Structures are given as C-alpha cells and as structure tokens.
C-alpha cells in the first residue's frame, strides 16, 4: 500500500500521539534526500525519518541508525539553525493531499519565539521536504524546483509555498462520493482501475480490496451487472471506515514482502500470509528497512557497477578474439608443410605461377596438395612466405595463450568484485572496493588523507553462530585475502560457493576445535547469501581447513585455489544470528 491519503491520515494520528510537545534534540541528513529528526519527549526519545527519495518516499518513526556524512550538508545545517531545540506544536495533513505539515516553535538569533513549518510532500518522484516561515515563505527545500523542471510550481528560497495542483478527482475521505463519477462503461478495463480513475488518495491495493469485498474478484467491466456496480461503489464509500489493522502481506511462494496495508487484506486468500503490527510506524520501519537499503546502495554503487560491467564487456571481447587467434593458429603446421614442399620441389616451379599441385610426402597416402603462390614472388620467396606465416601463427599462439590466461584471471576478478559490489551494505564497503580498484588501476586514484582513510575503513562482517563460534565474511577481495591468508589460522574452517563468485567465509575455532554441524550449516548459508547465488536455492558451498587454501603467485586479490574439501548444499537466507559488524 503506497503512502496514500488513508495511510497518511492514520500516520498523522500516531505521530501526534507519540511526539506531541517533544523537542527536536538533533537533526541529521544521512542521505541527500532524507533527514532524521530526533525528538525528546517527557517519556522517551524518537527518531523520525522523512525521505523525499523518488523510489521510497516516506515518513515514520524508526529504530534504524544510518551512517551520517562526516560533513553535514547545507540543508541539514539550515534545519539545525531553525529547528534544533524547537518544540513540536503539532503534525497535520494538508486536506486531500499527500502532504504532512509539522509545526515547530523555536527561538531565532534575536531570542524571539518564531513559528516554522516543515512540509513533507510524499508524492513519488515529486516528493520534497520544504521549510517555511509562519507566513509560508520558503526558507529552503531539500530539492529545488525551478522553471526548467516545472512551469506550474516552483520551490525555491524566497518564494511563497503553494500546494501542488489539485487532481480532478473526488477525495477518498470526502463526506459524499457520488455514484456518477464512476464510469464502468469502458471495455477492457477492470473495476479497480475505474476506482483509481475516479477517486484520489487511494492506492491500487485498497481499490482491489474494495472490489474483492464487493464482488469477490476483479473482472472486465463489461461483465458487471448494475447490482455489482452498486456494491463496488458502496464498498468504496466504506473504505475510510475500515478498522485499522496495520499488516504486511508476504507471498507464500517466494517468501518476499508484497505490500503493506493499514487495514486487513483478504484478496490474496491462501496465496499470501499476513503479519499484523501494533501500529503503523512499527510496520513502516520493518517494511522499508531492506527496501530502502537496497535502493540506496543501488544508487550509490551505480558508478562502480557501470565501471565493472564496462571492463567485463571489454575483457570478454578480448577473450573472444584471443580464442579465435588460438583456433586459427591450430593450422600453423600446414604453413610449414607447404614451405617444405615448395623448397623440396623448387626446381619444378616456374615464376609467375599462381598455383602449383605437388605430392604431399607428409601424407601416408602421398595425396596431392594444392598450394597458392604469389606470381610476383620467386619460388624461393613463396616458400619463405609460408615459413613466415608459420612462425607468425606460432608466435601468435604462444602470446595469445599467455594473454588468454591473464584476461581470464581479470574476468574472474571483475565478476567477483561485481558480486561484492552488489552485496555491499554501506558506503564504506563501496569505498573499500573503490580503493581496491584504484590500487589495481581500474579507476582513477582519489587523494585521501590518513584521517579519511581511517574513517572509511571497512571491516568484515562478523557473526556469532548459534553455538557461539565467530564467523567472518569478507566484504571485498582485499578483505577476502586478509581473512584467509593472514587472519585465519591453519585449522580454521574456510567456506566458498562452488564455482560461484562470492565472499570468503571463515569459522574461527579458538580453543574449541569441535565444530557442530549447525555452525557449519550457518557459515555455509552466510557464504551462499554473500555470493552471486543469493537468489537461488540448493547452492553448493565447499568448505575445508585454511591450510588447504593457497594463493597462486601473481593472482588477483581474492583469487585462491583449494583441495581436500567437502560440499554442502544450502538455500541462502540471512540466518537469525547475532551480528557484531
């Protein structure tokens, strides 16, 4: 369920109950389009996240703490100046809009008490966070909208704040929703689409639920009787009065979250499971935890993914060319045979001939062979030409074989780095990969001082197994080398997905050398989860003691060979283990 009017209406109620009278202790801006307001009330401390991200716009209380930039952005500094230590007066919803207004009283530089409004517009790609004065003059916004972006509404410092143009639809929270706004006459359209086209402030999930409750299932409007149409319209009018039961819908086949809702959803029947929550804020925090992290990391890693894919394509083409060169060189011996035959029969060949047929004494059957000649060459020069072609093909084969091996190693390294980039969970993880690629010359090296280098240090994932063993997982190839070749002892247990790019995983044995099967399985699941096989099932994971793992001379970071191993098959799901880092 998107942040429609119904969701925002309930959210405002909950936020007022929790935050009323609270003071803003701190303001953070962990992302370029997201702020965190930390409220201190008489009883508790709350973190309010407000995001204007085009893919995941939202506002709710959160328990998640994000890594903040070392230097606060300008909008964050401005909010600190105007809002920090300010008292929350109230939170309200702009009528019939997906806009929430936060009223805050704070003291200005002269010590005068002033009112400020923080408008949170949750409208997809048009989402924004705007700070205004009491007379609605825009102080600043997290996104500036000028004439080049919109000719209808500009959002710039100094301008008056105005709400977006209203939709030509009847709001879902209206006292009266007339029947004549619903046009069921169009063919090839379903009732839920009719509802969406007629009523504003309602999301597709709610529209489908209304249809499901009214007539059982969606169908083409041409199949509707008048009685069915009346039932659908009546159900739409009831939506605003549905009992509040915040829930998340999970697909029973894939186990993935489908959607969330503020009221009970029954349209999926046995195809989905429903998990209920005590309040909407708790639900939203769970729902957006992984989604937002995935979207953010996807955006932040886009440059790395593009760089890696470009290099992978380039090296793949190079490997294809080298393969072709090697294949062509397989016929090199024929050049030598032709050179030998021309030399042996040089007295038979006349200058100016374009072709000569000679007996091939290299063939047991002594069959004839046709040899093309260059008429401008002497017989001796023609023989030498074939010897040169032979030597050229022989040298090309040797060089192509060397380059093929190096190119294949490069390809393996880049593909493994791509997997690690896609599995990265923080900006420091990505920075570590950037540093590694810079060291190897794949991208320009950026000057980083020692302080920044220490701040950006990325550490391996550290889990505690259900049996109390330490499990470490590398976040990049440099860490993979460190874990396997330096940090691990010879008797520690090493894991890696079989013939699938992924992270090195280590079980540190410590004093206890007897590792239970449960810990072996948990480490294997982690190795599979942090690999290219994350979305697969029955992923093979090899494991052996570290003493059986070796790094070939000159191999790229993360590249190792191993023997004397066992294999376990697991389905990658992040296990419920204690995570230290």
State how far the alpha carbon of 244 is from the alpha carbons of 11, 126, 174, in Å.
11, 28, 18
Of 230 and 347, the structure prediction assigns the larger pLDDT to 230
The Cα diameter of the chain in Å comes to 113
Q: Rounded mean pLDDT of 257-273?
A: 89
Structure tokens at 157: 């410092």
Q: Label residue 157 by pLDDT band (50, 70, 90).
A: very high
What's the CA gap between 302 and 294, in Å, rounded? 12
Mean pLDDT, the chain, rounded, equals: 89
Residues 23 and 223 sit within 8 Å (Cβ to Cβ): no
Q: What's the chain's length in residues? A: 581
Q: Label residue 1 by pLDDT band (50, 70, 90).
A: low
Q: Label residue 455 by pLDDT band (50, 70, 90).
A: very low
- 161 in helix, strand or coil? coil
What's the CA gap between 82 and 563, in Å, rounded? 63
Residue 448: the pLDDT is 54
Task: State yes or no: pLDDT of 443 exceeds 90.
Answer: no
What's the CA gap between 27 and 160, in Å, rounded? 24
Task: State yes or no: pLDDT of 149 exceeds 70.
Answer: yes
Q: How would you list the strands of the sheet with 87-93, edge to edge?
A: 58-61, 45-51, 34-40, 23-31, 87-93, 99-107, 113-121, 128-133, 138-141
pLDDT in tens, 477-493: 999 999 999 999 999 99
Q: What is the CATH number of domain 170-296?
A: 1.10.8
Residue 449: the pLDDT is 52
Give which of 348, 343, 344, 347 is closest to 382, Cα–Cα: 343
Predicted model pTM:
0.69
What's the CA gap between 474 and 484, in Å, rounded? 9
Give the distance from CA 560 to its chain's centroid: 27
Residues 461 and 579 sit within 8 Å (Cβ to Cβ): yes
Q: Label residue 575 by pLDDT band (50, 70, 90).
A: confident
What's the CA gap between 508 and 512, in Å, rounded? 9
pLDDT above 90: percentage of residues in the chain: 57
pLDDT in tens, 48-100: 999 999 888 999 999 988 888 889 999 999 999 999 999 999 999 988 778 99
Q: Label residue 457 by pLDDT band (50, 70, 90).
A: low
Residue 309: the pLDDT is 94
Q: What is the CATH number of domain 5-141?
A: 2.30.310.10
Domain boundaries of the chain, sorted by first residue: 5-141, 170-296, 306-420, 459-579
Residue 473: φ, ψ to 5°: -130, 130
pLDDT in tens, 325-370: 888 787 888 888 888 888 988 888 888 888 988 888 888 788 888 9
pLDDT in tens, 497-537: 999 999 999 999 977 778 999 999 999 999 999 999 988 88
Residues 6+ apart with CB under 8 A from 50: 34, 35, 36, 37, 58, 59, 118, 120, 129
**368 forms bridges with which residues in the sheet?**
359
Q: Rounded mean pLDDT of 548-554?
A: 92
What's the CA gap between 92 and 13, in Å, rounded? 8
């Amino acid at each position: 369920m998107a942040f429609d009017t119904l969701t925002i209406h309930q959210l405002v109620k909950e936020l007022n109950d929790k935050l009323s009278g609270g003071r803003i202790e701190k303001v953070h801006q962990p992302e370029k389009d997201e702020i965190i307001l930390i409220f201190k009330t008489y009883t508790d401390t709350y973190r309010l996240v407000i995001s204007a991200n085009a893919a995941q716009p939202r506002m709710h209380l959160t328990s998640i703490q994000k890594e903040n930039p070392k230097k606060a952005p300008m909008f964050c500094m401005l909010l600190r100046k105007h809002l920090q230590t300010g008292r929350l007066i109230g939170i309200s919803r702009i009528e019939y809009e997906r806009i929430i207004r936060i009223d805050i009283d704070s003291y200005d530089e002269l010590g005068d008490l002033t009112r400020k409004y923080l408008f949170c517009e949750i409208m997809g790609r048009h989402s924004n966070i705007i700070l205004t004065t009491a007379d609605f003059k825009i102080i600043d916004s997290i996104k500036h909208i000028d004439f080049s972006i919109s000719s209808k509404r500009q959002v710039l410092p100094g301008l008056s704040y105005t709400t977006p143009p209203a939709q030509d639809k009847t709001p879902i929270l209206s006292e009266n929703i007339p029947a004549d706004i619903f046009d069921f006459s169009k063919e090839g359209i379903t009732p839920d689409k009719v509802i969406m086209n007629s009523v504003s402030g309602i999301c597709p999930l709610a529209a489908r639920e209304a249809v499901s409750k009214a007539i059982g299932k969606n169908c083409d409007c041409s199949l509707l009787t008048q009685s069915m149409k009346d039932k659908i319209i009546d159900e739409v009018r009831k939506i605003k009065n549905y009992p509040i039961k915040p829930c998340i819908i999970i697909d029973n086949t894939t186990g993935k979250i489908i959607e969330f809702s503020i009221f009970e959803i029954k349209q999926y029947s046995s195809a989905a499971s429903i998990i209920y929550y005590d309040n909407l804020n708790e639900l939203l925090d769970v729902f957006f935890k992984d989604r937002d992290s995935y979207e953010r990391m996807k955006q932040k890693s886009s440059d790395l993914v593009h760089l890696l894919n470009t290099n992978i394509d380039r090296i793949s083409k190079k490997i294809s060319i080298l393969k072709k060169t090697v294949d062509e060189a397989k016929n090199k011996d024929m050049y030598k045979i032709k050179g030998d035959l021309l030399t042996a029969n040089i007295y038979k060949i006349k200058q100016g001939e374009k072709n000569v047929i000679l007996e091939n004494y290299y063939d047991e059957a002594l069959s004839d062979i046709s040899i093309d000649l260059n008429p401008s060459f002497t017989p001796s020069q023609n023989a030498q030409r074939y010897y040169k072609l032979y030597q050229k093909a022989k040298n090309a084969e040797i060089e192509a074989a060397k380059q093929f091996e190096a190119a294949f190693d490069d390809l393996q390294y880049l593909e493994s780095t791509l997997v690690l980039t896609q599995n990265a969970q923080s900006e420091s993880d990505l920075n570590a990969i950037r540093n590694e690629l810079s060291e190897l010359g794949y991208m320009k090296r950026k000057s980083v001082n020692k302080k920044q280098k220490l701040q950006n240090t990325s550490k391996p994932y550290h889990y505690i197994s259900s049996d109390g063993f330490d499990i470490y997982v590398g976040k990049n190839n440099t860490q993979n080398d460190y874990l396997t070749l330096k940090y691990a002892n010879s008797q520690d247990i090493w894991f890696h997905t079989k013939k699938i790019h992924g992270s090195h995983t280590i079980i540190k044995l410590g004093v206890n050398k007897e590792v239970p099967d449960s810990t072996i399985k948990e480490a294997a699941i982690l190795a599979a989860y942090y690999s290219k096989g994350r979305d697969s099932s029955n992923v093979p994971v090899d494991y052996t003691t570290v003493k059986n793992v070796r790094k070939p001379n000159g191999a790229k970071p993360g590249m190792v060979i191993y023997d004397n191993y066992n294999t376990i098959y697991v389905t990658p799901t992040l296990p419920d283990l204690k995570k230290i880092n």
